[in-house]
């Protein structure tokens, strides 16, 4: 673990990561025991991912995920 209490290569809370088991992209929301909790961009149910299967998202993947979130926010009632 690093100084922030997380494994090297695992983005901190709020960062985007890829679940290497199936390629899903999610925003890191925290930890659930030893696992990393991820939420899909734009909303949806969170899922647990073992830290060894989490990898940081590439810049292109992050951009697509942020656009998805912004588009979702634009569809919400005000």
Q: What is the mean pLDDT of residues 30-34?
A: 93
pLDDT(4) > 70: no
Q: How far is CA 29 from the centre of its chain?
A: 7
Please give the Cα distance from 65 to 30 (Å, whole number): 18
Range in 4-8, 18-22, 32-36, 58-62 with the lowest mean pLDDT: 4-8
pLDDT in tens, 39-53: 999 899 999 999 999
Q: Which residue has the higher pLDDT, 5 or 15?
A: 15
Please give the Cα distance from 20 to 38 (Å, whole number): 12
Contact in structure between 65 and 25 (CB atoms under 8 Å)? yes
pTM (two decimals): 0.81
Please, what is the Cα angle at 26 between 36 and 7, to 5 degrees?
Answer: 35
């Amino acid at each position: 673990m690093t100084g922030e209490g997380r494994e090297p290569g695992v983005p901190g809370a709020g960062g985007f990561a890829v679940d290497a088991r199936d390629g899903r992209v999610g925003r890191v929301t925290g930890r659930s025991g030893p696992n990393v909790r991820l939420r899909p961009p734009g909303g949806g149910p969170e899922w647990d991912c073992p830290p060894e299967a989490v990898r940081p998202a590439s810049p292109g993947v992050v951009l697509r995920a942020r656009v998805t979130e912004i588009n979702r926010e634009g569809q919400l009632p005000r």
